Chain A
Amino acid sequence: MPDALLARAVQPLPVALPNLFKRGSPLTLDRDEHLATIEAIHSGLAGLNYISNEQIATAVFLAYHLDKPVLIEGPPGVGKTELAKSVADMLGISCIRLQCYEGLDESKAIYEWKYGKQLLYTQVLKETLGEILDGAKGLTESVAKLHEFGDVFFSEEFLEPRPLMKALKEEAGCVLLIDEVDKSDHEFESLLLEMLSDYQLSIPEIGTIKANPDRKPLVFLTSNNTREISDALKRRCLHLYIPFPDADLESQIVQARVPEVPAELRRQLVTFIQALREMDLKKVPAISETIDWAKALILLHTESLDADLVKQTLNVILKFQEDIESVTGEVQMLTNKALKGS
């Protein structure tokens, strides 16, 4: 909150300072500090319990410095959405989220007219029409007078901004998260192009709405790869692929997210999950499942894994009966392996 207050207090100052920072405005000070180097991003995110790897930090760094959206792909549950939220938290700006689904269109993503209000306005206009047209002779004169009156009907007052437009209008900048783009229709993808390349939107009745050039929104798009995203969209984005983490990173993540887990148990469960990922399963457990499992084990006051316990809690990490059945037979072996591994 204090950050926001500070920003507001500084905002009205006419900015004519020399180029101290790359963006040229003292407003971007705290932002720039967070995003100045890749290490800063790394530690900033770690402070919010989001353990990033080098690629992730680089992506955020480049996204900010090149003004490019980031398209994040990867299996479900590796923290794609979480990244956007964490970045917003780190920078202390709001995160505007647009969840995509089939049938999402511009009236839900960009803007809509407030029809009710517009109707009301015409009613009011009708009543005051006499006053406005007072003294006008003939049709031409009346029309001329009406033109003078100004076109409020299609103006911003009657505009209901939806996520994309809200993101552009956010003066202090924001993180725009377009979640699961692959779920939306092809038409919607094309709709995004203008927004993603120029940070502007065209509304036929009003004109173009542009983002604050110093505070362009940081855009993150996530995709689960259910279908191939069009080349046009990909071309405009940085492409970040987040794979399943290796044992080391996963252990760090568990530590950050569920600090109550003792080191030994953490190592065991990470080893176990890593082994599961090697198996031929319908859906392999992701990081989110590892975290859930760690939490569950803590609730059950577990000190160390054992086969029975694993069998009972298998439904936390595996989401298909088929998978559970195929793993159950292996549990003993996997648990032993996890216990043994140094």
Chain B
Amino acid sequence: MEKTIVDFVKVLRTAEVKVSPAETLDVMAAIEFVGYEDRALFKNTLSMLLAKNPEEKETFETCFEKFFTFDDVMQAPVAGGSPDEAEDSDAFEDENSGNNPQGQPGGKGSGQGSGNPSEAEDAESGNEDTPPPTSALGQLLLQGTRSDLMVAMAEAGRAVEVNQIVVFTQKGLYTRKIMDQMGLKALQEEITERQEAADRGEQRLAGKLKRARDQLRDQVRDYVEKQFFLHADEHGKQLREELLKKVKLSNLEKRNHKDVQEIVFKMAKKLVSIHSKRRKTHKRGQLDIRKTLRHNMQYDGVFFDLKWKSVKVDRPKVMCICDVSGSVSNYSRFLLMFLYSLAEIIPKVRSFAFSSDLGEVTRLFQSSNLEDAMAKTMRDYGNGSTDYGQMLEDFKRNCMDDVDNKTTIIVLGDARNNHGDPKAEILREMYEKSKRVIWLNPEPRSNWLVGDAEMKKYGPNCHQTEVCNSLTHLERVVSNLLKYAA
């Protein structure tokens, strides 16, 4: 049973529930007290020890149900497979029949089920009109209980290491492997033998066995499917996520947006947990007279415990100006998504969108969900050729008063100004007034000075310029933003 727990922990880990070895040990210790008999109790115990926040609890719930449920697997196939499953099974049929002739002769196969001799004998006495099946699997199918069969299936599954399954195309392979392990060959052999026999009872038995075999195949396939969802699905997802993090955002296809959104939330969450601690930076050398006086009263007013001034690192006040014209809109989308996912640690984000005229979209993003807000922003501001000069002018007119020495301004855009007036002097003004101006450019650095790009003029008026074209870049930028907020 310990192995089962370890397996389950592995499943949880692939499903992104963080479980430490110490927690696994805790579970073992706890099980000594609660035992396995009471399922609800067992589940509650595991849930308390392994899943430690509401989201993890939810994941745990599904994983537990998938992992520890056997009965459902047994009931579903009785109703018969759904049509699309039938197609699958045809493919197997071919495979199997191709294999049949070479099947090894002899009654008992490599079956390792729980069909023990005594059980078979019992059945023999009870079953008069049809002779008992001789192969181990046949006995198990016709006479064993469902749980016996399930145990055999699980054991076979473990023997062929079904938990190593990685991609869905392996499902067929593992179904076969498990069937073989359970003694399919011997069963096939028996069916053919009995079908050829003249006795009606024999033939009836053959029919029965055949039906049972087909049912079993469905069950095994279900079982493998479940195992696949448990072990491999999340693994594949992780691979995909790694890939998506590195891909250029403008190359993202629409169907991936949802995945990316998930990743953004995940990254944001990580950042939140790293940065939710408000650091104090100590300015050693500056004595805090008031604090020292107050603190040293208890020592009779003798100053021997000195207190120094410290500064709390404030949450950054962020103003985010995003180019939403065609080429850059995807980047803006994810930057905004990122910033708004961080609402917990950077509560004051004001966002502006422009292609030529600048408009504030803060309220829009706060009140509606990202997809809608983004769509509306695109509709309202996305048209027209980019004009950075106009944007800066608008910013100066509307928002310059709100910029103070705690504000970080992020500009996201390719700085392609269609040869218009760049008005870099306004950016200079922003540079002087704010704490930091960060320019994020999705183009590679080598393209920054080519064509109508104005980075040459804008660059010196920023505290920091960064290439930013994938999620990894985005994460780095936002993380830096939080780190150096002081």
A240 within 8 A of B: yes
Chain B's closest residue to A228 (CB) is B273
Pick from B26, B44, B273: contact of A58, CB under 8 Å: B44
Question: Could you tell me the distance between the alpha carbons of A62 and B54 in the complex, rounded to whole angstroms?
Answer: 20
Please give the number of chain B residues whose Cβ is less than 8 angstroms from any Cβ of chain A in the complex: 29
**B16-24, B166-174, B223-231 - interface stretch:** B16-24
The yes or no answer to A270 lying at the interface (CB within 8 A) is no
B309 in contact (CB, < 8 A): no
Q: Measured between C-beta atoms, what is the minimum distance from A144 to chain B in Å?
A: 27
| Stretch from B45-53, B139-147, B183-191 that touches the partner | B45-53
Within 8 A of A (CB), among B20-42: 20, 22-23, 26, 29-30, 33-34, 40-41
Q: Judging by beta carbons under 8 Å apart, are B45 and A73 in contact?
A: no
> Is A68 in contact with B41, judged by CB distance below 8 angstroms?
no
Query: Which one of B20, B29, B48, B277 lies within 8 Å of A59 (CB-CB)?
Result: B48
Q: A147 in the interface, Cβ–Cβ < 8 Å?
A: no
Which residues of A in the span 46-98 have a Cβ within 8 Å of any Cβ on B? 54-55, 58-59, 61-62, 65-66, 68, 71, 73
Assess whether A58 is in contact with B22, with CB atoms less than 8 Å apart: no
State the Cβ distance, B126 to closest chain A Cβ, in Å. Answer: 42
User: Closest approach, in angstroms, between the C-beta of B353 and any C-beta of chain A?
Assistant: 27
CB B366 to nearest CB in A, in angstroms, measures: 14
Q: Is B446 an interface residue (CB 8 A)?
A: no
Q: Assuming A62-B30, A65-B33, A235-B23, is B18 touching A55 (CB within 8 A)?
A: no
Q: Are B48 and A115 in contact (CB under 8 A)?
A: no
Interchain CA distance A227-B272 in the complex, whole Å: 9
A residues 106-151 with Cβ under 8 Å of B? 115-116, 119
A55 contacts B44, C-beta separation under 8 Å: yes
Given contacts A115-B298, A235-B20, A241-B57, contact A62 B273 (CB under 8 A): no
Given the known A-B contacts A66-B30, A73-B54, are A231 and B18 also in contact in the complex, defined by CB atoms under 8 Å? yes
Selected from B23, B34, B276, the residue in CB contact (under 8 A) with A228 is B276
> Is B484 in contact with chain A by the CB < 8 A criterion?
no
A residues less than 8 Å from B48 (CB atoms): 55, 58-59, 62, 238-240
A: contact size bracket: 20 to 34
Interface of A is mostly: helix
Give the complex CA separation of A227 and B276 in angstroms: 8
- Are A58 and B276 closer than 8 Å at their CB atoms? no
Residues of B within 8 A of A239 (CB): 48-49, 51-53
Of listed A71, A73, A241, residue having the most chain B CB within 10 A:
A241
Is A277 close to B, CB under 8 A?
no
Is B300 part of the binding interface, using a Cβ–Cβ cutoff of 8 Å? Answer: yes
Interface centre among B44, B45, B298, B344 (most CB of A within 10 A): B44
CA distance A58 to B47 in the complex (A): 11
Closest Cβ–Cβ distance, residue A103 to chain B (whole Å): 11
How would you classify the secondary structure of chain B's contact residues: helix, strand, loop or mixed? helix
- Whole-angstrom distance from the CB of B83 to the nearest CB of chain A? 38
- Say how far B196's CB is from chain A's closest CB, in angstroms: 58
Let me know if A58 and B45 touch, CB within 8 A: yes
Tell me if A66 and B29 are in contact (CB < 8 A): yes
Is there a chain B Cβ closer than 8 Å to A186's Cβ?
Answer: yes
Q: A71 contacts which chain B residues (CB < 8 A)? A: 52
- Cα–Cα distance between A332 and B41 once the two chains are bound (Å): 42
* A234 part of interface (Cβ distance < 8 Å): yes
B44-84 CB mask vs A (1 if < 8 Å, else 0) is 11011101111001000000000000000000000000000
Choose among B40, B48, B299 the residue with the greatest number of A CB atoms under 10 Å from its CB.
B48
Alpha-carbon distance between A175 and B134 when the two chains are bound, in angstroms? 64
Contacting residues, chain A, for B18 (C-beta < 8 A): 231
A254 smallest CB distance to B (angstroms): 25
B463 to chain A: closest CB distance in Å? Answer: 29
Q: B23 — which chain A residues lie within 8 A by C-beta?
A: 235
Interface residues in A209-252 by Cβ distance below 8 A to B read 227-228, 231, 234-235, 237-241
From B299, which residue of chain A is reached at the shortest CB distance?
A115
Q: How far is the CB of A113 from chain B (nearest CB, A)?
A: 9
Q: What residues of B have a CB within 8 angstroms of the CB of A186 in the complex?
A: 277
Q: How far is the CB of A115 from chain B (nearest CB, A)?
A: 5
- Using Cβ atoms and an 8 Å threshold, which residues of chain B touch A61? 33-34
Chain B residues whose C-beta falls within 8 Å of the C-beta of A68 in the assembled complex: 26
Bound CA span A240–B22, Å: 18
CB closest chain-B residue, reference A55: B44
Nearest chain B CB to A177 CB, angstrom units: 18
Q: How far is the CA of A62 from the CA of B298 in the complex (A)?
A: 44
Q: A38 within 8 Å of B by Cβ?
A: yes
Residues of the B chain whose Cβ atoms lie less than 8 Å from the Cβ of A38: 41
A66 and B20 CA atoms in complex are apart in Å by 17
- The residue of chain B having its C-beta at the shortest distance from the C-beta of A22 within the complex is B33
Contact between A228 and B272, CB atoms less than 8 A apart? yes
- Cα distance, A237 to B57, chains bound together (Å): 15
CA distance A237 to B49 in the complex (A): 8
- Whether the Cβ atoms of B26 and A73 lie closer than 8 Å is no
Complex-state Cα separation, A183 to B3, whole angstroms? 40
- Residues of the B chain whose Cβ atoms lie less than 8 Å from the Cβ of A235: 20, 22-23, 52
Write 26 A-B pairs (CB below 8 A) sorted by A numbering. Answer: A38-B41, A54-B44, A55-B48, A58-B45, A58-B48, A62-B30, A62-B34, A62-B48, A65-B33, A66-B30, A71-B52, A73-B54, A115-B298, A116-B298, A227-B276, A228-B273, A231-B18, A235-B20, A235-B22, A235-B52, A238-B48, A238-B49, A239-B48, A239-B51, A239-B53, A241-B54
* Among all A-B residue pairs, the 8 with the closest Cβ atoms: A239-B52, A58-B44, A234-B52, A186-B277, A238-B48, A115-B298, A65-B33, A228-B273
Given contacts A73-B53, A241-B57, 8 further A-B contacts (CB under 8 A): A55-B48, A58-B34, A58-B41, A62-B34, A62-B45, A66-B29, A116-B298, A235-B23
Residues of A within 8 A of B (CB): 38, 54-55, 58-59, 61-62, 65-66, 68, 71, 73, 115-116, 119, 186, 227-228, 231, 234-235, 237-241
